[in-house]
Amino acid sequence: MKMSRVFCVSAACAAVLLSFVAVADTITLESLLGEMTDARVQTLAGQNWRGRLFSSYNRTGTNIDYSNYLETRTVNNIQEHILLDATGPGAVVRFWCANVANGARLRFYIDGDDAQHCLEVNLVDILGGTSWAGAPLSAFVSPTCAQSASGRNLYLPIPYSSSLKIALVGQGANYFWYNIEVREYAAGTAVESFSSAVLTRAADAIAAANTTLSAQFIPTATSSQAFDGEIAAGGVKTLDFTGPAALSDLQLSVSGTDAPLDKVRVLLAFDGETTLDVSLGQFFGCGMKAANFTMRHLSYADGLMRATRVMPFKTSATLTITNGSSAAVTLANTAAALSAYEWDDAKSMHFGGYGFYEENVPAFANGYDKRWVKLRGEGVLFGNQLSIDNTAANYGITSGWWGEGDEKIKVDGEKTYLGTGTEDFFGYAYGPGKAFSTEHPFLALPVADNVATDSKRIAVMSRERALDVVPFTNQLE
C-alpha cells in the first residue's frame, strides 16, 4: 500500500463512482481546467511535474518585497520588467499581484522572445477582470477595499510548450508585488501553448469551470452515518467505515460553553494508521473564531460546518471526535458520508493533516523563521489555514501588524518557493481589516482583524490548492 499523503497544514498562534480526469496525451488549457475541477485528482501521487514560485521577494533578505524583477530591459523604447522567465514545458497555475498602476500591461512571450510570440493585455482585464476568464478564475479580494489595494488572483492556467517570459510595462515608479506559481513538466511532456485561438476555443470549458468552482463541491454519497449526541467532558465518539471508498463529506454543528473550536478534536485513521489529529476549528477552516464562509471544500453557515475533501482508503477508516473541554458538548446536524473510490495501490494517497497551537509568540524587529511543518515521504501539499489572536498593544502596519513574514517552502531539499508576505500567500493584500467569505473557491478570510481590541484582533484565513498543489517525492518543509 502506498504510504503517500495529501496534507493540509493548520496553525494557530496566542460517491457514485466518478472517473478521474484522464492524464492527457497532450496538456491543454481544457485538460488543465478538467483537472482543476476534479476533486479526486489531488488524491493521486506520481505527478510528472514540480512546482516553482516566481515572486518579487527581496533577494538581499530585507522586507522590501516589491518591484524586485528578474530583469529590466528596453524593447522598442518601452521599458519592460521581467516577472517570470521559464524554459521547458510548463504552465502558470496561479498569478497574484497587488498595487497595479493605471494602464499597466502584461506581455506574455510564449515559446519565443519576440513580437511574433508576444500576447499583450491590460493587466486589470485578466487579473480581476473578465477579458480571459471572469470570476472566480479571475478575481480580486477583498472586494471591500479599493481595487488598487486588493489582491488580484488569476487561476486560469497558461500552458506553454517550450518557454514563457512575462513582462510588465506601464507600471512606472509604482511599487509592484507579485507571486506567480508554475508547473515545470518533465522534459518531453507534450503541451499545447496558450494563445488567443486556444482561449476562444476553450470559452465553454472556462465558463463551465467558473460555474463549478462557484459553489462548494458536493460529492455523490453511497452511504451516510449520523452521529448526533452529547460528548461528555473528556469523552470520545468514534465511527468506523469499510472500504474501498472515500470519506468525502463531514458536517456537524457543535454547542458548548468551553471553546469547542479549540478543545474538540478531529482524528482520522485510514487503513490502520492515524494521519490527522487537529482541532475542530482547524479541520473545518474556522480557526479560533467562526464566521460564515464558503470555499471549494469547506464552509461554515450559521453554525453548520462542512468539509467535502475527498479522503480515500483501501480497507478501513475511523473518525474519532474527542472532547478535551471541561464541559459536555452537543453535536447536531451531523453526517459522515462515503463516496465510491477505486483505490490504486500505485498512486492513491491518504489524506493527512497537521496543526499546532502556540501562545506568546515573540516579536523580533527583523523577524525570524517559524517552521510550520516538516514532512517526509511522498505526497502533495493541499492547503493551509492560519488563525491569529493579535495582542500587540501598538497595532499598525509598521508595529503590531503580523503579516510581513514571507512563506518559504523547500521541496525535496530545494527552496523553490520564496514569497512576499503572509497576506499575499492567502490571496489578499495590504494588511488587516478586509474580510471576504464567499468570493473564491480556494481563498477565504472570514474573520479579519482591524485594531487590537478584544473584539477585532482575531484573523482567520484559509487557502486550498488545485493546480497549484505542491508535490514532493522525499520531503517538504
Average pLDDT, the chain: 88
Closest CA to 49 of 408, 411, 310: 411
What pLDDT digit, counting tens, does each position of 84-107 carry? 999 999 999 999 999 999 899 999
C-alpha cell at 335: 453526517
What pLDDT digit, counting tens, does each position of 39-49 carry? 888 788 878 99
C-alpha cell at 237: 465518539
Determine whether 96 is exposed, middle or buried from the number of CB atoms within 10 Å of its CB (0-12, 13-18, 19+).
buried
What pLDDT digit, counting tens, does each position of 281-309 carry? 999 999 988 999 999 999 999 999 999 99
Which pLDDT does position 397 carry in this prediction? 44
CA distances from 220 to 77, 89, 217, 250 (A): 57, 36, 10, 13
What pLDDT digit, counting tens, does each position of 136-160 carry? 999 988 776 666 668 899 999 999 9
> Angle at the Cα of 249 (from 247 to 254), degrees rounded to 5?
120
Q: How far apart are CA 432 and CA 452, in angstroms?
A: 11
DSSP class per residue in 385-427: EEEEE---SS-STTTT--TTPPPEEEETTEEEEE-S-HHHHTT
pTM: 0.93
Q: Is the separation of the CB atoms in 307 and 248 below 8 Å?
A: no
Whether the per-residue pLDDT at 454 is higher than 80: the answer is no
